[in-house]
Amino acid sequence: MESEHAAAAPGPGTPAAPGPGAAPGSGPASRGAAAGQLLRRSARWETGLVVVVIAIVVFGASTSSEFLTGSNFFNIGLGSGEIAIMALPMTLIIISGEIDLSVASTMGMSSALLGVLWSTGWPMLAIFAVLLLLGAAAGLLNGLLVTRVGLPSLAVTIGTLALFRGIALIIIGSNTVSDFPAAYTNMGVEPIPHTQLSYSAGIFIVLAIIFGVALHGTPFGRSIFAMGANQDAALFAGIRVKRIKTLLFVISGVVCAMAGALLTFRLDTAVQNNGLGLELDVVAIALLAGVSIFGGKGSIIGVVLAVLAFAGLQNALLLTNFNQEATGIVIGGLLLASVFVPNVMSFSARARESLGRRSRATAAVSRSGP
Amino acid sequence: MSTTVAERRDSSPPPPDAGSRRLTERVFRVRESGILAVLLVFVAATTAIQPRFLDTQNIQFVLINTTVFALLALGETMVVVSRNVDLSIGSVLGLSAFLSARLFSQVHGIPIPVVFAVGLAIGLVCGVANGLMVSLGRVPSLVVTLATLYIIRGIDILIVGGNEVVAQSLPASFANIPQDTVLGVPYLAIVIAVIVAIGAYYLRSFRSGRELYAIGSNPDAARLAGIPVGKRIFTAFAVSGALAGLAGVLWAAQYQTIDSTAGTGYELLVVSAVVVGGVAIFGGSGTAIGAAIGALLLSTIQSALNVLGIAPFWDQAIAGFLLLLAITLDRAISLRLLAALRLRSSRRGI
């Protein structure tokens, strides 16, 4: 029990120390080698995903002649657009060392409010403004509880998962609103003119570019990686960890509120359980994308590929008349593979290294944690 | 829940050594007493407004509703204390509920204990799979159990298809399990209270139980101290799975109509109950009794809203709010504890 406070002190996402084995005597040269290895490994991850996506396309095309048609491409984008959109801020949050399980509830809350405000005659533009504010407020609550109160994001967002879904229930009760104007609900049946993209897929592409540039091309993005890799070091390097994490949660809230509106229009229905349970799909996509659950690792390219794999696989299984509800088996299998494959790779790397330095072999193997 | 209270009293004499330990133990008792106090205040307030709340029938209803949750919470506590999490329990419950209840129509006259054993075994298999992957594969349990959540639910859906087990196919003696009472107390609640008490005693007083806390406090230190970390974590997952399997059979007896959605979303409810009950989400502290009280509190709230005629829409918002309140208070208490311990050790000149 005495060591309880020692465990409580470092933040929730504190990554495992880089392992005592690597530390002694490692100069800048070996650090550079480590960075190179990291780069190679993440590059390999995305290559692996490309292979998976190609395999899924081949599988889909060989089992159904409908798979490679334009209208099916539209269906794929339509079916997974909102989940894909929510996976983008989730990726940033997980890279920063936190998690947001409240995404689907924020979505549901936004959907419920949209329905109620519309049925009481609000103009649509005003409703959009309110929804974005709602999303920002939801994200701010998560962010402040995590950064200012210092609570683990896993627990906080399980709490707000229930809270936000509860608020959705309070807002809309057991009612169903479904008389949205055709101009909006057409999003659910028609692609963007002159393309085969659903509106949600189009928004995902735009957002993916914005998030990709922000994450990989700006100091803001670098600081997200830094705080995920080592929160204390990031703090000492002058990165405003708390402010950035709060901002990430706010962004997540806003994006999820937007996804809620998209889902509502696609289904032409606002009910309290819109988006129920989608948080796990969103997390699954992020993990499949190679984002480390401990923070500090991941890429937007990976997320785009993971979305393609996720959406393509679900669609292919649907076309093969596989029980659609049971596609979770395959998604879960992919998820397991995504954690075991890199583990096997690092295990074999460790084994090779220890063979090289036979004198230190036993120490290296016994020390190297996951 | 009378057994739980008695067990708590048993645990009160503080060990004679180190003052700091007495202090920590007192604070941990504060956590549980805190949640117990919330429960009592809640019951008192509800009863003041609507005396019907303390009707025998309603109390029985709440206790029965708690049994499934308390079992799941016990397993989840063991896992969470070791700084892991088991998200697959809802799916395990669903699979076990369907397969065990279907036995009644497949094998005529099958004895009820055999059905319970089958449910337990199904859960155990799932738990062993989780445990092997987490401990041998050394991969984060959040990811593994998220994956098995999908996989086990998928298997469930493939097996169940569009079918369901209907109440008519269950023998009366099975369907009556939740209704049977001893001196007005549902005897199922007593059995579950005893199981929770055993679990709590194991975590509190057995070496391997204590080692789970050590692992949760600092996995590296635990490994260096010679604790078989992998083995302990494996056991925690196996037990959690087995209890979820058992809970599945109880779920079947309680709801009697079982399709492929049974237990969907329970994992987060149970984690909520466990955290509300004072178990730290990042391991190292908390008790099984606290988790059981957390489960009791959540089902009491549901019932209270129902009795007060408040639309059930408020359940979830209140449960979520309470969870946030609980972890915020917990944080405040542990910060104060940390400060007090520092002060104490500086006074002693350590």
Judge whether A23 lies within some domain: no
Can you give the pLDDT at residue B65?
Answer: 87
> Percent of chain B having pLDDT more than 70?
90
Position B347 pLDDT exceeds 60: yes
Average pLDDT, chain B: 85
Report the residue from A151, A161, A335 with minimal CB separation from B328: A151
Q: Does A298 touch chain B (CB under 8 A)?
A: no
Q: Which of residues 10 through 69 in chain A touch B, CB cutoff 8 A?
A: 12, 16
Can you give the pLDDT at residue A369?
Answer: 43
Position A275 pLDDT exceeds 70: yes
DSSP secondary-structure letter at B165? B
Do the Cβ atoms of A169 and B338 come within 8 Å?
no
| B313, B330, B341, B350: best to mutate for the A interface, most A CBs within 10 A | B313
Position B3 pLDDT exceeds 60: no
Rounded to whole angstroms, how far apart are CA atoms B266 and B271? 8
Can you give the pLDDT at residue B30?
Answer: 64
pLDDT category at A21 given cuts 50, 70, 90 is very low
Contacts of B260 in chain A (CB under 8 A): 325
Rounded to whole angstroms, how far apart are CA atoms A255 and A249? 10
Catalogue the long-range contacts made by A123-127 (C-beta closer than 8 Å, 24 or more residues apart).
Answer: A124/A181, A124/A184
Q: Does A235 touch chain B (CB under 8 A)?
A: no
Can you give the pLDDT at residue B14?
Answer: 45
Q: Tell me the average pLDDT across B190-194.
A: 93
Q: Are B229 and B221 in contact (CB under 8 A)?
A: no
- The 10s digit of each residue's pLDDT in B102-125 is 999 888 888 999 999 999 999 999
The CATH topology of domain B2-348 is ABC transporter involved in vitamin B12 uptake, BtuC (1.10.3470)
Structure tokens at B277: 């009950």
Position B4 pLDDT exceeds 50: no
Half-sphere exposure of B113 (CA within 13 A, CB side): 0
- By C-alpha distance, the chain A residue nearest B137 is A340
- The 10s digit of each residue's pLDDT in A87-130 is 999 999 999 999 999 999 999 999 999 999 999 999 999 999 99
Contacts of B24 in chain A (CB under 8 A): 1-2, 4
Judge whether A62 lies within some domain: no
Task: Compute and round to an integer the Cα radius of gyration of chain A.
Answer: 22
Q: Are A75 and A230 in contact (CB under 8 A)?
A: no
Do the Cβ atoms of A158 and B275 come within 8 Å?
yes
Domain containing residue A150: CATH number: 1.10.3470
pLDDT category at B95 given cuts 50, 70, 90 is very high
- By C-alpha distance, the chain A residue nearest B25 is A1
Do the Cβ atoms of A159 and B320 come within 8 Å?
yes
Give pTM, 2 decimals. Answer: 0.80
- The 10s digit of each residue's pLDDT in B216-253 is 999 999 999 999 999 999 999 999 999 999 999 999 99
Can you give the pLDDT at residue A164?
Answer: 94
Q: Are A244 and A223 in contact (CB under 8 A)?
A: yes
In this structure, is the dihedral angle defined by the CA atoms of residues A353, A354, A358 and A360, taken in order, positive or negative? positive
Residue A323 region by backbone torsions, left for phi larger than 0, else alpha for psi between -120 and 50, else beta: beta
Can you give the pLDDT at residue A142?
Answer: 96
- The 10s digit of each residue's pLDDT in B320-336 is 887 788 788 777 877 78
> In this structure, what are the phi and psi dihedrals at residue A166, rounded to the nearest 5 degrees?
-65, -40
Average pLDDT, chain A: 83
Least confident window among A316-330, B35-49, B179-193: A316-330
pLDDT category at A85 given cuts 50, 70, 90 is very high
Question: Mind telling me how many Å the CA of B263 is from chain A's nearest CA?
Answer: 13
Question: Mind telling me how many Å the CA of A341 is from chain B's nearest CA?
Answer: 10
Residue type, B131: G
Catalogue the long-range contacts made by A2-5 (C-beta closer than 8 Å, 24 or more residues apart).
Answer: A2/B20, A2/B21, A2/B24, A3/B214, A3/B217, A3/B218, A3/B221, A3/B284, A4/B24, A4/B217, A4/B280, A4/B284, A4/B285, A4/B334, A5/B334, A5/B337, A5/B338, A5/B341
Q: Which of residues 273 through 292 in chain A touch B, CB cutoff 8 A?
A: 276-277, 280, 283-284, 287
Q: Give the residue numbers spanning the domain of A324.
A: 75-345
Report the residue from A1, A167, A340 with minimal CB separation from B213: A1
Residue B183 region by backbone torsions, left for phi larger than 0, else alpha for psi between -120 and 50, else beta: left
Do the Cβ atoms of A3 and B24 come within 8 Å?
no
Q: Tell me the average pLDDT across B277-303.
A: 88
DSSP for A37-93?
A: HHHHHHHHHHHHHHHHHHHHHHHHHHH-TTTTSHHHHHHHHHHHHHHHHHHHHHHHH
Judge whether A238 lies within some domain: yes
Q: How many structural domains compose chain A?
A: 1
Do the Cβ atoms of B143 and A165 come within 8 Å?
no
Do the Cβ atoms of B150 and A162 come within 8 Å?
no
Q: Tell me the average pLDDT across B252-280.
A: 87
Q: Is B133 exposed, middle or buried (0-12, 13-18, 19+ CB in 10 A)?
A: buried
Can you give the pLDDT at residue B325?
Answer: 84
Judge whether A359 lies within some domain: no
| Residues listed for chain A | 370
Judge whether A103 lies within some domain: yes
Higher pLDDT, A317 or A204: A204
Can you give the pLDDT at residue B168?
Answer: 83
Q: Are A140 and A246 in contact (CB under 8 A)?
A: yes
| B139, B316, B329: best to mutate for the A interface, most A CBs within 10 A | B316
